[in-house]
Amino acid sequence: MKIGVLALQGDFEAHERRLAELGAQPVAVRYARQLDAIDGLILPGGESTANLLLLKGEGLWEPLRRFAAEKPVLGTCAGAILLAREVAGPSQRSLGAMDFAIERNAYGRQIDSSIRRVEPERAFTERTRPGALEAVLIRAPIVRSVGPQVEVLIRDGKDPIMLEQGPRLAATFHAELTDDTRVHELFLAKVGRR
């Protein structure tokens, strides 16, 4: 299974290591032509405004939008922002691949980043395994509204922090920065079902 990781900026290498640990073949995606050779794609955390500039500069925007509309994609933190239907704080362009609205940096500045233990919803643990999960929130966005076709898989209190819609997953936290592999396992299972 070949899984692309958008490798323009952000912590893409941590996702690549996790994928390799789980037996998938990671592919560092930097060019549109690489999208044809992968089974799924991870949009890593980083800085969403920088991502937009790099995607446009590399001619990746439209090919990525088409890929995200049809194939399995996991977006973490800034990657989740890219997948959203609507972005605020400030407003910015997004792929619109999932029906949710998100606010950038809503937890505050870098100093307000945190690691929280959260209990996943049943829809998550039924397909992975039970138990609390560590959520690394670094200048994290907050999901403000969720459309009817989106399922919430994990919450931090009342705030959704992991969502699912069709073959796509969005997490406002950095799943690649802990030893818990369940988010990546769930994504690989979605890729494998296609």
Give yes or no: 176 in active site. yes
The one catalytic residue in 77, 103, 164, 184 is 77
Give yes or no: 77 in active site. yes
> How far apart are alpha carbons 131 and 16 in whole angstroms?
25
Give yes or no: 58 in active site. no
The one catalytic residue in 15, 16, 174, 184 is 174
Nearest in space to 58 (alpha carbons), one of 23, 22, 31 = 31
Write the secondary structure of the chain as one string of H (helix), E (strand) and C (coil): CEEEEECCCCCHHHHHHHHHHCCCEEEEECCHHHHHHCCEEEECCCCHHHHHHHHHHCCCHHHHHHHHHHCCEEEECHHHHHHCCEEECCCCCCCCCCCEEEECCCCCCHHHCEEEEECECHHHHCCCCCCCEEEEECCCCEEEEECCCCEEEEEECCEEEEEEECCEEEECCCHHHCCCCHHHHHHHHHHHCC
The one catalytic residue in 15, 103, 176, 184 is 176
Catalytic residue positions? Answer: 77, 174, 176
